[in-house]
Amino acid sequence: MNISTRIILVHTSLPANIGSAARAMKTMGLTDLVLVCPKHFPHADATSLASGASDILANARVVATLADAIADCEVVLGTSARNRTINIAQIDAREAGQMAQQYGANGAKLAFVFGREDRGLTNDELQLCHGHVFIPTNEVYGVLNVASAVQVLSYETRMAHLLASEAPVTTAASAAEPERMPITLVPWDEELIPGEDMAQFYTHLEQALVAAEFLDPANPRQILTRLRRLFGRTRLDRPEYNLLRGFFKRVIALSADAPRRAAAPSPAIAARAEQERP
């Protein structure tokens, strides 16, 4: 079973962790590994720890930024052991595996993102993700090695694929669990938007908000962050994306034309003036 889910390691310091992660992936049938600016790679330690998964390392892509790593991904889930001041949708490891199966079955690329060994992902990096994956570890000591976290999520992803071949998989949370912000999983018949296009979308959105004087660039507050959360939860398809980009374009054009339109009388006023002329 070859599973299309992508594993992304960000700024990994120890090459041994890269090799161990590759081994964890291969045991569960995952092959797509992307490394964001690793400190040492290629490296003998990575090859040694990969054991029989050297092919995963050989085919791994190395990129400069997380944005590059997710450019062709429709769904991005960041991993973190810490609560953040900026909340995004929270998903436990089992739900994340089910999401990987469901999106993959519909041809969408889903990626799990793992951060630095010492401090994980930054808030800016998590804002590029549509959800925050957590592994419900021991409350007394819940620190997982990067490769161990990769193993857990790779396992859950494989189990979801195996279960899907036997019976439908439900993503409903237990009623006893605390309420979390959901990511809606619904069938779709249009192309979902990958990360590269969404980066352009958010730039265009910001320009429209500034043009409409709704957003002050000098004091943006949490407006863009909350809008990212909103669109991250809904997952735009191509027609929705094109509709909103057209709307942003129109807002910007009307804002630029506002002074001229303000100086000119409206058609109704002009017509009334013409009728009242002696």
CATH numbers and ranges of domains, the chain: 3-164 (3.40.1280.10), 195-263 (1.10.8.590)
Distance CA 23, CA 34 (A): 14
Cα(147)–Cα(209) distance, integer angstroms: 41
Per-residue confidence in pLDDT tens, the chain, 278 aa: 789 999 999 999 999 999 999 999 999 999 999 999 999 999 999 999 999 999 999 999 999 999 999 999 999 999 987 665 566 788 999 999 999 999 999 999 999 999 999 999 998 999 999 999 999 999 899 889 999 999 999 999 999 999 998 754 444 444 455 555 556 555 667 888 999 999 999 999 999 999 999 999 999 889 999 999 899 888 899 999 999 999 999 999 999 887 776 776 666 656 665 666 65
The helix (H) or strand (E) run that includes residue 182 is none
Residue 278: asked if its preceding bond is cis (omega within 30°), the reply is: no
Structure tokens at 136: 């419900």
Rounded CA-CA distance 27/21 in Å is 10
Sequence-ordered list of residues with C-beta below 8 angstroms from that of 272, at least 6 positions apart, any chain:
none
Q: What is the pTM of this model?
A: 0.80
CA dihedral of 243, 245, 246, 248, whole degrees rounded to 10:
120
Tokens read off for 189: 């018949």
Angle separating helix axes 238-263 and 195-211, nearest 10 degrees:
20
